[in-house]
Amino acid sequence: MNAMSAPAAAPRATPADPPSTPSRAGSRAEPPLETSPVVLGGVCAGIAPLPFLVVYAVLFIAHALHPVGPPDITATRTGELVAGVVAAVAFVLLAWSVLAYLNHARRWPFLILQFAALVTAVVFLGNSTTGGPVVSAVLAVAAAIAIVLAVLPASAIHVGSPVGRGRRARRLPH
């Protein structure tokens, strides 16, 4: 037979072969927890401000370095720089709070920052000098949805709050 005629077949797993999981002896790894749809919905709504914060941070910092006339939100280059730095810090904090909430750590930073996003969006909604009302309205609705979903019992169970004591999150099947 010619050596070039057929490729070698990969060995097949037999029923006697163990599944490709870590050794059970000495392993304390548990299967990942299933994330509630309520938590996923809250996270999806909660990330709505993130793209805007990045764009505003870059825009305001760029305007501080290269002034435009008239300035976007303040009358000085320093004010534009401060606004850009505040937007960048808000982005980092909000992204961290979303990750902490999603990773079962805590939801209170997420709730506080979503409330801050809601208040800011409502203030911008009532101020005609901050641009059109559509973006502010969308962000206000998204923050409100994120807050409502984050205070539901399923969210408390997700982060292990007292509401969820005695009940365990469902585990994913192996």
List, as one string, the DSSP characters of the chain. Answer: --TTSSPPPPPPP-TTSPPSS--STT----PPBPPPHHHHHHHHHHTTHHHHHHHHHHHHHHHHHS--SS-SSSSSHHHHHHHHHHHHHHHHHHHHHHHHHHTTS-SHHHHHHHHHHHHHHHHHHT-GGG--HHHHHHHHHHHHHHHHHHTSHHHHHHHT-GGGTT--PPBPP-
Mean pLDDT of 11-18: 53
How high is the pLDDT of residue 6?
58
**Sequence-ordered list of residues with C-beta below 8 angstroms from that of 49, at least 6 positions apart, any chain:** 90, 94, 117, 139, 142, 143
d(CA 7, CA 154): 52
Preceding peptide of 173 cis, ω within 30°? no
Q: C-alpha distances in angstroms, 170 versus 27, 32, 41, 110, 157?
A: 20, 9, 18, 23, 10
How high is the pLDDT of residue 173?
56
How high is the pLDDT of residue 147?
96
The pTM of the full predicted model, rounded to 2 decimals, is 0.69
Q: State the pLDDT confidence band at 18, using cuts at 50, 70 and 90.
A: very low
Tens digit of each residue's pLDDT (9 = 90 or more) over 92-134: 999 999 999 988 888 899 999 999 999 999 998 988 777 778 9
Is 124 within 8 Å of 130 (Cβ atoms)? Answer: yes
Cα 17 versus chain centre, distance = 40
